Amino acid sequence: MRSETELDAEDCRTLLERGVVGRIAFWAEDGPRIHPVNYSVLDDAVLVRTKPASALARIAQGGSGATVAFQVDGLDHADQRGWSVLARGPVDELSDAEAVAALERVRPPRAWAPGERTVVVRMCWTELTGRRLGTGWDPVRDQDYRRLR
């Protein structure tokens, strides 16, 4: 039986915190973009490292407080079930040296892709929603994950 269930805020946050790779969507100079990124969660913010010359860095450093969307999910193709969490909010650069140092001690976002990523982008969510597809399972309880430090 197929069903769709809204996830509560606590489950959304738990699933978001467990993730390693997500997608950040934003409006760049040349139009909409969606980038897969490694990330971390600290307090009520998603943190991403990016290259200084990237479109995402330019938006974060511009001080406009542009709204971005960030999405993570988990899928089980065999059983046709899964979950998705969407966070939306303004983006800025985490430039305070003390805050960046604290992030490094807690859970730094580590990029899998090569290249120097010295800009830490912070998206403080103002909206956090999610949904689960399928019955007879709980993504918070049943999801197998390992986040490496």
Cα distance between residue 137 and residue 120, in whole Å:
36
pLDDT of residue 145: 53
How much is the pTM?
0.84
pLDDT of residue 87: 98
pLDDT of residue 109: 66
Architecture of domain 4-137: Roll (2.30)
pLDDT of residue 148: 44
Burial 48-72 (b: 16+ CB within 10 A, else e): bbbeeebbbbebbeeeeeeebbbbb
Per DSSP, 72 falls in state E
Q: Which residues sit opposite 123 in a β-bridge?
A: 46, 91
User: What does each C-alpha distance from 145 to 68, 85, 101, 126 come to in angstroms?
Assistant: 26, 16, 26, 26
54 touches 119 (CB < 8 A): yes
Per-residue pLDDT of the chain (149 residues; tens, 9 = 90+): 577 889 999 999 999 998 889 999 999 989 999 999 999 898 899 999 899 999 999 999 877 789 999 999 988 777 778 899 999 999 999 887 767 776 677 666 677 777 788 888 999 999 999 998 876 655 666 665 555 44
